[in-house]
Amino acid sequence: MSFNISFKPQSSFELIRCGRDFDGGYLLTKKTIKETDTLVSFGILDDCSFEDEFLKINPIKALCFDHTVNNSYWKKRFFNDLGASIYNLNFKFFKNTLTRYFQFKKFFKSPTNFLKIETIKKGSLRSIITENNLKKNIFLKIDIEGSEYRILDDILTYQDKLSGAAIEFHDVDINKKTISKFIENFDLILTHIHPNNFGGEDEFGDPLVIELTFEKNPEINNKKFLLPNEFDQPNNPNNKDITLKFE
């Protein structure tokens, strides 16, 4: 098995990496970042590196949503990670947790960055756009562990308001037709695809999780189209990346 041609970008684009190394970074064009008026991010957990770097290029409002990062999240995280560090006599892991925590707090200390403890479901995008009076040039980052399928119709409904979207798709083996239909009905241009090797592979060696970037007016370059892109990195650095195959 392999991916049909709709999953493959048809040009080479002037992509940059936005976000931290390995898991948490996405590829898109700087042009799209600069043309965005509002960043709407679904799924943060402990990592706001994508949002932070996006806003360093274009300091706009960021509306972030995640139902897991409630008041008890960091307390449990500190307790569990400190215990693991003591047990393994390796405090590097806990140090990394502290670094993430202070980055997280610093990012959301800004008066233009908002975090709402909310589960994203069908209708959420409509409510967010309406309640915040968002008119145009919205960039969506979506990493919500399978719930992305609940809002695909809403994304298509409001696609004329979008400058771009980076979407992580899960359970690809049973959702290829749904994703392909979405790509075909989405007016934005597919500029990048990347396999997330944390998700593993199906019986044919295809990734079970993929990351797709779509942009309204991406910057095309004259370079030869290559996958993986020079800025791609395996989400899990301890394992090799998964090779994408197209029909």
On the question of pLDDT at 81 being above 90, the answer is no
Beta-bridged to residue 62, according to DSSP, are 39, 113
| pLDDT of res. 86 | 87
State the total domains in the chain. Answer: 1
Question: What is the band of 90 on the pLDDT scale with cuts at 50, 70, 90?
Answer: confident
CATH of residue 37: 3.40.50.150
Question: What is the band of 91 on the pLDDT scale with cuts at 50, 70, 90?
Answer: confident
Q: Which residue has the tokens 């593993």?
A: 200
Residue 42 located in a structural domain: yes
Residue 102 located in a structural domain: yes
Residue 160 located in a structural domain: yes
Compute the distance between CA of residue 80 and CA of residue 74 in angstroms, rounded to an integer.
10
Residue 180 located in a structural domain: yes
The average pLDDT across 63-73 equals 93
Range from 80-89, 149-158, 178-187, 229-238 carrying the lowest mean pLDDT: 80-89
| pLDDT of res. 87 | 82
Q: Which residue has the tokens 């899960």?
A: 170
On the question of pLDDT at 71 being above 90, the answer is no
Which range marks the domain in which residue 132 is found? 5-215
On the question of pLDDT at 1 being above 80, the answer is no
Residue 228 located in a structural domain: no
Residue 82 located in a structural domain: yes
In degrees and rounded to multiples of 5, residue 127 shows phi and psi of -65, -45
Range from 8-12, 74-78, 119-123, 130-134 carrying the lowest mean pLDDT: 74-78
On the question of pLDDT at 88 being above 90, the answer is no
Residue 227 located in a structural domain: no
Q: Which residue has the tokens 């048809």?
A: 10
CA distances from 245 to 80, 187, 193 (A): 39, 24, 11
Residue 95 located in a structural domain: yes
